[in-house]
Amino acid sequence: MVSRSEAGNRTVLVTGASGFTGRYMVRVLQDQGYSVISLGGAHPSFAVDHSDTLAGHARRADLRDLRALTRVMDEVRPDYVVHLAALAFVAHGQVEDFYQINLMGTRNLFQAMQDVGHQPLGVLVASSANVYGNATEGVIREDEPPNPANDYAVSKLAMEYVSRLWSDKYPIVIARPFNYTGIGQDEKYLIPKIVSHFMRREKTMELGNIDVWRDFGDVRAVVDAYSRLMITPESASATVNVCSGSAHSLREIVEFCRQITGHDIDIRVNPAFVRANEVRMLRGSNDRLKQLIGDWSSPEISQTLEWMLSAK
């Protein structure tokens, strides 16, 4: 592992630093002593956060603009790169944006490194467990054949393949995070939606199938895993699930929130929210992750929910 004194001499470029995951990523890297440069651009997913956390350490370049990105890469020449910038909301209306941002943006990032002759010590690319699709029941390991079921997932899988084109030049690890949440995640995502309804003490809430079981992690554990994979030489060229390894139903999530808040909400199943042929249980295996980085775990989802519900 990199010591704090060693980290103090090293720079990490974080794309998507102002996003939900990016803000936590920046904090954990700074806490570890790294000099962090955030990369932002014109698209909302890449917007620069002008908070004190990033003040003086931000660069602006849209990942779709190779020329601007190349200028930044030549100026910064980071020791490590954590690539989080992406269009992540599956229901986003403009399909072409998934490919322009997630796929071509990633390709441009590596092209910029190559064009300026920069050789980072490590590159982490955040993909998604969505690449596995919804057809496989049970525990999902990294050797499960991808079966993407929407354009977001297809763009993420294509992003993985384009990243591998540079695997002979750079030490690249591809992380496949499963569902994770935390304070600050947009309410358009499922668990923040549930949490916000309880915080507002709403009387009713519409959900889809609440008897499906999924692997829910904690953003704080996810960025910890990323920071450790980034510097682990053995992770180069690896594809790694980042997940809690356990599954909970949405019915359980709602019940945890009831217990924590003492508030009851009438749950109404909206057929429009129910996915056809949805498998009952999906969870990931984190065996490879722990083999690479050692002892690691994600908080129990009840602890994550308690943390989120305590937010002001």
DSSP type of residue 281: B
- For 217-228, write each residue's pLDDT tens digit: 999 999 999 999
CB 136 within 8 A of CB 193: no
Q: Is 172 helix (H, G, I), strand (E, B) or coil?
A: strand
Amino acid in the structure at residue 298 = S
pLDDT averaged over the chain? Answer: 90
Rounded to an integer, the average pLDDT of 161-174 is 97
The mean-pLDDT minimum among 40-44, 61-65, 192-196, 239-243 falls in 40-44
Distance CA 39, CA 63 (A): 9
Residue boundaries of the structural domains of the chain:
4-181+218-246+282-298
- For 107-137, write each residue's pLDDT tens digit: 999 999 999 999 999 999 999 999 999 867 7
Distance CA 37, CA 218 (A): 24
DSSP, residue by residue, 4-20: HHHHTT-EEEEETTTSH
Q: What is the pTM of this model?
A: 0.92
- What pLDDT does 83 receive? 97
Rounded to an integer, the average pLDDT of 163-188 is 96
- For 235-286, write each residue's pLDDT tens digit: 999 999 999 999 999 999 999 999 999 999 999 988 888 776 677 888 999 9
Distance CA 177, CA 215 (A): 10
Protein fold of 4-181+218-246+282-298: Rossmann fold (3.40.50)
- For 295-304, write each residue's pLDDT tens digit: 999 999 999 9
Can you say whether the dihedral through the CA atoms of 27, 29, 31, 33 is positive or negative? Answer: negative
